[in-house]
A and B are shown apart, each in its own frame.
Chain A
Amino acid sequence: MNAEEILKTMFRSFFIIATGIVISMYVFCLIFYPDASFTLYDIGGILKLAFISDLPYLLFYSNKELSKKQMYIRKSVHLPVLLAVVLYFAYLWDWVDLNHMKEVIVLLLLILIVYVVVFAITICYDKKLADKLNHRLRERYRS
């Protein structure tokens, strides 16, 4: 992806990630801190974390169009980097206690679930569109 495409993707992803963080925080607090209350500072934290989580998208930057295989390789690097970045900032802002393994695992699982759901939705949409395009191509050139 070139610089323009990366910026567009990051802009779109920012809102998806922010929504994902809110859902994850809701589930996380429901499990571990049911009495938790959120301040203006925490809302700022959500937006900051969404921005920081967006940065690993820069791994997809390339002047040339990446092949399918190259894209899968970068995607497999992107996920662990994203998990590490989120875990580091969650620890830095006292959102998670690294001494409680259960908390860490639930947090990582929640991120993973959001990541996989978004990925699966995108793949399904692209698959449907590819089927439609193939159908139209066959109609136009192979009939």
Chain B
Amino acid sequence: MKIVIEELQDGEEDQIIIKCREMPDELLHVLAMLKSQGALIAYDGNEIHRVQPKEIYYIEVVDNKTFLYCEAKVLESKQKLYELGSYLSNNDFLRVSKSVLLNLSKIKSLSPALSGRFEATLDNNEKIIISRQYVSDLKKMLGI
């Protein structure tokens, strides 16, 4: 796919023009993200929801499906964990195990969980294990 970025003249409005024969899924995702202005598109059965990153406690992949866990609801996302990871990297989200992205702002406390792992207790009292291999990323993110 060719990407062209042109500089605008003074007074011209920002615009995105998409030229394609068919709309591929990737492009639909990008459009959905642009339209939702930072929010993620997620599904609850046939219902479509817009979820702001700050509402999400953690994101987990279970049986190749991606789920967004909010305070009291669980929604499904069509995006892969690595896509969400790169999209949310500026929103306090951190990969804490092979299948979980955790919103650090929702952590109430951390406690040791043996073998260099940690257990994060979230504001809604759910518990998430931080795998040993991701502890260094957490330390880096918190400036330790």
Contact = CB atoms under 8 A, between A and B. Distances in A.
B110 interface: yes
Given A66-B129, A71-B113, A130-B110, A136 B144 contact: yes
Nearest to B96: A65
Interface residues of B, number: 29
Assign chain A's interface to a size class: 20 to 34
B112 A65 contact: no
Query: By DSSP majority rule, is chain B's interface helix, strand, loop, or mixed?
Result: mixed
A67 B127 contact: yes
Contacts, number: 73
B129 A133 contact: no
B9 to A, nearest CB: 42
Nearest to A124: B112
Nearest to B114: A71
A122 interface: yes
Contacts of B131: 5, 65
B143 A1 contact: no
A2 B98 contact: yes
Contacts of A15: none
Contacts of B112: 123, 126-127, 129-130
Given A65-B97, A130-B110, A133-B139, A9 B115 contact: yes
B50 to A, nearest CB: 24
Given A126-B118, A133-B139, A137-B104, A68 B132 contact: no
Contacts of A134: 109-110
B51 interface: no
Nearest to B132: A5
Contacts of A133: 110, 118, 138-139, 142, 144
Interface string A43-71: 00000000000000000100001111001
A73 B133 CA distance: 22
B19 to A, nearest CB: 44
A60 B144 CA distance: 29
A4 B132 CA distance: 11
Interface in A93-143: 122-123, 126-127, 129-130, 132-134, 136-137, 140-141
10 contacts: A4-B133, A65-B129, A67-B113, A68-B111, A71-B117, A75-B114, A123-B112, A129-B118, A133-B118, A133-B138
Interface of B: 97-100, 104-105, 107, 109-119, 127, 129, 131-133, 135, 138-139, 142-144
The 3 A-B residue pairs with the shortest CB-CB distance, nearest first, are A126-B112, A136-B142, A71-B114
